Every structure is written in structure tokens, then in C-alpha cells.
Amino acid sequence: MIGFHTADAIRDAERATGHLLTDGVLMARAAHAVAHVVAAELAVRGGVYGATVVLVVGAGDNGGDALYAARHLRRRGVRVRAVLTAPDRVHAAALADFRAAGGTLVDTVDGADLVVDAIVGLGGRGPLREPAASIMAALGDTPVVAVDLPSGIDPDTGIVHDPSVHADATVTFSLRRLAHLLAASSCGAITVADIGIPVPTPAVESPTDAEVAARWPLPGPRDDKYTQGVVGVIAGSTAYPGAAILATTAAIAATSGMTRYVGPAAPQVVAHRPETVAVTDLAAAGRVQAWVIGPGYGTGRDSADLLRQVLADDVAVLIDADALTVLAANDDLRADLRARERPTLLTPHAGEFARLATAAGSAAAGLLETDRLAAVRVLAADLNATVLLKGRTTLVVDADGTAWGTDAESSWAATAGSGDVLSGIAGALLAADIEPRVAGTMAARLHARAAATASGGAPIGASDLAAAVAPALRALLHLRQ
């Protein structure tokens, strides 16, 4: 598991090193790592020797890391210059070392082959201030290496303020910050350099692809179609059969268990996937181990009745799309949800999340813009369910606050119908008896990989995504030991 930490937890862990912090040993190690990553970036961009690097240095220790790095870079033949954004508060010892190593002070980033963002790190609050904002606005397409995290991004909430730095690479120290997950797309490639800080309990964890592969349910020698879990998909309508087809197609590809379908699009679903056991009425559906309810199934009275019956069933339930809207509109259904004892996973996008949180009178509604992680934690607790908030970074949080997350690494999945594919995959995993937080995160990982597989660099539709679930899973399973 990859752990992500709060700034407070990191500062406590740094303090626990005692003299390593107070004697500047940690900063010396950090500086070494900065120089290493800068040199590696230069090496793939035209060479290290003779290159010009401009450090943009702020008031705190983040600037100190970069100034001390100059000595290592000079040794490798790099011309190092620095712009001080707060000259009266710069790390004095680091500046003296920088000068002694042959660094020179300048006023702009002009002429840089690479810029180092050492404006703020863990101590950063709010958007870039002047003069840092104007200095960085003049960057053009010069590559940027961020020290610790890109300045202007909040370390704990990952809020990307305007203006802020967009980095091509980020070098951080021993412990990943929450922003590295929550604002992953602003950080570029992240290098975690071990500088000898003990690892505390993380705030959020993210499984690696190898861990997702290891947990993926595959048929064993004694399995049959029932033992692997039957998922039932309640989705789509006569007018809009697409969601039903996408969700069932994804569920079929994700695991070998049986997929049932309940709804008016049964003929279309069977025409696309003949292996689906499809009926139009819930009463005729037969047993399942998990329900997926909501994609494209409408928001009328029938929808509320169906959701009520499904919530009363003694199996895992995934509530998505229209069923989330129905849940927002019906107090009694939210009461049923809170009272449930079986696993329940809600999979809203930001709009559905806001509507549901507002209807539930949850403080989560007010937190969504300022602190996504806190917002999901609050809604999960208020609804007594696991909540998966979709986005470039997916967060999946249990009612007790346990939080997992995963960065999609690309945005190709941002297309209509993409969520239907996600709910199909996650539903199949729930039916295989995987707990909601784990199932949701595993599904988000496979979904992201399927999007990358389908895309190959070009826009895709959700049926391309659904078709790529099987090949993406095949590739993922190669990581299994």
C-alpha cells in the first residue's frame, strides 16, 4: 500500500528524528535528493553538463532544500542561479552555502533550461503570492521540478489554487503528502526520496497495481458460476438501454461469476451479451450476492420502489446515478440506507454528491469545494455507507473514516457512460464478497487502466472503455506473483 500523510503527521514524524532535524541532516539529505532529480530531468532533456537551472526560492525550509542542492549540481557542471521571492526571510545558512558553491542571484527565470520550484512546501497556504506569481508566470514551457510539492497547492486538501505551479516532476521526502494523491495531475512524476523519517499511520492509502492484481477474484478448481458471486444489474430503460448494456458488459468482463439483469432493456442487453440472465421484473430475478442499481434507470416512482426493495435485500448494494438522485429525493430511503447492516457502496460524481449531501442536511455539501477528502468522510459517516467520489482522483471512504484513493493518471475516462462501466466492475467485485472500499478502489484502478488501454492517446466512448475492461484486466493480472 502507498500511504499519503497530513502535513501535521509529517511534521511530527520529522520532529521524532530529533537531532537529524535540528542539526540540518534531514535538509542535507533532502538537498541531495533535489539535485539528483533535477539532474535526472536534465539528462532526459538535453544533458546535465552546461545546463542552466534557476531556483525560485521562498521564505522557508523548502527554499533551503533547493539552495543546498546547488553545490551538488555545480559539481555536475550545472550553472545554478536563484531568484529570491522573500530575500529578507530566506534560509540564511543555505543562501551562504549557495553563494560559496558559486551560485548567482538573478531577478527572473529567463535563460533557464529547468526551473526549480522551491517557493513553498509544507508551510504553503493559498495561491502563489507576489512576486512569486509574476516570476512563475514568465516560465513559458520551461520544465519545472517542484521541491516537496508544487507551490500554490494545499498540502492537505490538494486544492489547486490560482495561480499555482504545475510541475513536470516533484521530489518529496520519505512520506507522500495528501496533495500528491489529491492533486496528482499537478505534480508530474513523483520521486519519494528516503531521508530517514519514520513512517506514521497514513491518512489515505492507495493499493499498487500489483496489490490490486493479487486480490482480483479468479475462478478456482472447485468454483462454479454461483460460487464466484452473482451480480444483479438494475439499470437502463426502454428509451435509454445504453447504461444497462455498459454496466452488464463491464460486470461480465470483471469476474467469472454470473451476471443478471433486471429492467426494461432486457432484450437489448441479451442481444449484446447473450450470457446475461435477463428479466424485466425484480420478482423474477432470482438470487444475487450484490445489486448494482441506478445507471440510466430513471427517477420516477417505480425507481423509488425498486430501490426500497433492493435496500431491504440482505446482500451488498451499489447505488449509482439515478438511484442516487432518488435517494436524495426520499428521506425514508435514506433512513433505510442508514439502517442497513450489509455492505453498501454509493458511487456519486461531484454533482450527485452535492445533491445527496444537501438533501441529507450533511455538512459534506459545504466541504466539497474546499476539502474533498473531508467531504467524503463526513457523508460516509452521515449515511452509514461507503462513499466513492469519482474524479481524476477517486476517493473511497467507509463510514468509520477509513479512506482509500487512486489517481487515474489520465482523463480519458471522462466521457458519457463511463460511470456505468465503473459500477458494473465494482458490483461484480462486491458479489465476489470483496468489501466496498476495496471493491470500489480496485474497480477504479481497473477502470483507469481500461481507459488508457482503449485510448492509446485518442478520445474514446464508454463502449470502447467497456470493451477494454477484459484486455486491461489481462494485462493487470500479469503483475500477479
Residues at the contact surface with K ion, assessed by CB under 5 A: 117, 121, 146-147, 151
The binder of ligand NAX chosen from 5, 6, 14, 288 (CB under 6 A): 14
Among 9, 26, 251, 354, binds ligand NAX (CB under 6 A): 26
Find the binder of ligand NAX among 54, 120, 160, 468 (CB under 6 A).
120
**3-state SS string over the chain?**
CEEEECHHHHHHHHHCCCHHHHCCHHHHHHHHHHHHHHHHHHHCCCCCCCCEEEEEECCCHHHHHHHHHHHHHHHCCCEEEEEECCHHHCCHHHHHHHHHCCCEECCCCCCCCEEEEECCCCCCCCCCCCCHHHHHHCCCCCCEEEECCCCCECCCCCCECCCCCCCCEEEEECCEEHHHHHCHHHCCEEEEECCCCCCCCCCEEECCHHHHHHHCCCCCCCCCCCCCCCEEEECCCCCCCHHHHHHHHHHHHHCCCCEEEECCCHHHHHHHCCCCEEECCHHHCCCCCEEEECCCCCCCHHHHHHHHHHHHCCCEEEECHHHHHHHHHCHHHHHHHHHCCCCEEECCCHHHHHHHHHHCCCCHHHHCCCCHHHHHHHHHHHHCCEEEECCCEEEEECCCCCEEEEECCCCCCCCCCHHHHHHHHHHHHHHCCCCHHHHHHHHHHHHHHHHHHHHCCCCCCHHHHHHCHHHHHHHHHCCCC
Residue 116 vs 292, nearer CB to ligand NAX:
116
148 is in an annotated binding site: yes
Min separation Cβ 86 and ligand NAX, Å? 7
DSSP letter, residue 60: S
The interface partner of residue 98, options being K ion, ligand NAX, none and the CB cut-off 5 to 8 Å by kind, is: none
- Binding-residue pattern over the window 432 to 451 for ligand NAX, x denoting contact by CB under 6 A: --------------------
Q: Do the annotations mark residue 362 as ligand-binding?
A: no
Given the complex with K ion, which of 153 and 389 has the nearer CB atom? 153
* Residue 181 sits in the site that holds ligand NAX (CB under 6 A): no
Residue 243 marked in a binding site: yes
With CB under 5 to 8 Å by kind, the binding choice for 117 among ligand NAX, K ion, none is K ion
Binding site annotation covers 127? Answer: yes
Cell of 235: 439499470
Q: Is 299 annotated as a binding residue?
A: no
For residues 23, 29, 34, 39, the Cα torsion angle rounded to the nearest 10 degrees is: 130
**DSSP, res 369:** T
Among 33, 115, 132, 388, binds ligand NAX (CB under 6 A): 132
Which one-letter DSSP state was computed for residue 481? -
Q: Which of 128, 187, 388, 413 binds ligand NAX (CB under 6 A)?
A: 128
Shortest distance (Å) from residue 117 CB to K ion: 4
The crossing angle, in degrees rounded to 10, of helices 350-359 and 321-329 is 20
Number of residues that bind ligand NAX (CB under 6 A): 27
Whose CB is nearest to ligand NAX? 121
For residue 56, the one-letter residue type is V
Q: What string marks each residue from 46 to 85 as x (binds ligand NAX by CB under 6 A) or -?
A: ------------xxxxx--x--------------------
Q: In angstroms, what is the minimal distance from the CB of 119 to ligand NAX?
A: 6
Alpha carbons 394 and 207: distance in angstroms, whole number: 12
* Listed ranges 24-32, 136-144, 236-244, 274-282: which one lies at the site for ligand NAX (CB under 6 A): 24-32
CA 425, CA 432: separation in Å to the nearest integer? Answer: 11
Residue 65 is labelled as binding a ligand:
yes
Q: Closer CB to ligand NAX, residue 21 or residue 359?
A: 21
> 272-311 mask for ligand NAX (x: CB under 6 A)?
----------------------------------------
449-469 in b/e form (b: 16+ CB < 10 A) is bbbbbbbeeeebebbbbbbbb
Residue 131 touches ligand NAX, criterion: CB under 6 A: no
167 binds ligand NAX (CB under 6 A): no
Q: Is the peptide bond before 267 cis (omega within 30 degrees of 0)?
A: no
241 touches, from ligand NAX, K ion, none (C-beta below 5 to 8 Å by class): none
Residue with cell 557542471: 77
Binders of ligand NAX in range 87-106 (CB under 6 A)? 89
From the list 126-134, 135-143, 367-375, 458-466, the region that binds ligand NAX by CB under 6 A is 126-134
Which residues, numbered 196-225, are part of the site for ligand NAX (CB under 6 A)?
A: none
Find out whether 390 is annotated in a ligand binding site.
yes
**Exactly one of 4, 6, 9, 30 binds ligand NAX (CB under 6 A); which one?**
30
Instruction: Establish whether 141 is an annotated binding residue.
Output: no
Q: According to the annotation, is 129 in a ligand binding site?
A: no
Binding-site annotation: residue ranges for AMP:
390-394, 419
Which residues contact ligand NAX by CB under 6 A? 14, 21, 26-27, 30, 58-62, 65, 89, 119-129, 132, 147-148, 173
Residues placed in the known binding site for (6S)-NADPHX: 61-65, 121-127, 148, 243, 296, 349, 420
Which residue numbers belong to the known binding site for K(+)? 62, 117, 151
Which residues contribute to the annotated binding site? 61-65, 117, 121-127, 148, 151, 243, 296, 349, 390-394, 419-420
